Amino acid sequence: DQDIAMVVNALWAAGAEAISVNGQRVGPDTFIRTAGSTILVNITPVASPYSVAAIGDANAMSVALVRGATGDYLSSAQSVNGITVRTEAASGLTMPALEQLPHKYARPNDQGGAQ
């Protein structure tokens, strides 16, 4: 799960506008966790091979996965654990809508902003 979380965080940091993991949309309330031998994204089990898709600046996101701490980590994971990382730019990428949890305490104020 930390491999996937590291990739997702690097993509956010590179300016990704939207991200999904194996078809599960990732948002601010998303958690990526291991439960036994299963990885959960939004409490939905996802199976290998893992596919992370992102909408944004393809060059910036690709660089984020090659350089810095994330690049070093993924390079090590490739050589030690046999993890394969492949990036490709695609046009017309679509993703499922983000299913956000209802906010229990937040409510709009009289001026239309959030309180």
Instruction: Report, in angstroms and rounded to the nearest whole number, the Rg of the chain calculated over CA atoms.
Output: 16
Q: Could you report the average pLDDT of every consecutive run of 10 residues in the chain (115 residues)? A: 91 95 92 91 91 94 92 89 85 85 72 58
Map out the domains of the chain with their CATH numbers: 2-81 (3.30.70.1880)
Q: What is the pTM of this model?
A: 0.81
* Cβ 39 vs Cβ 1: under 8 Å: yes
C-alpha angle 96-78-47 in degrees, rounded to nearest 5: 35
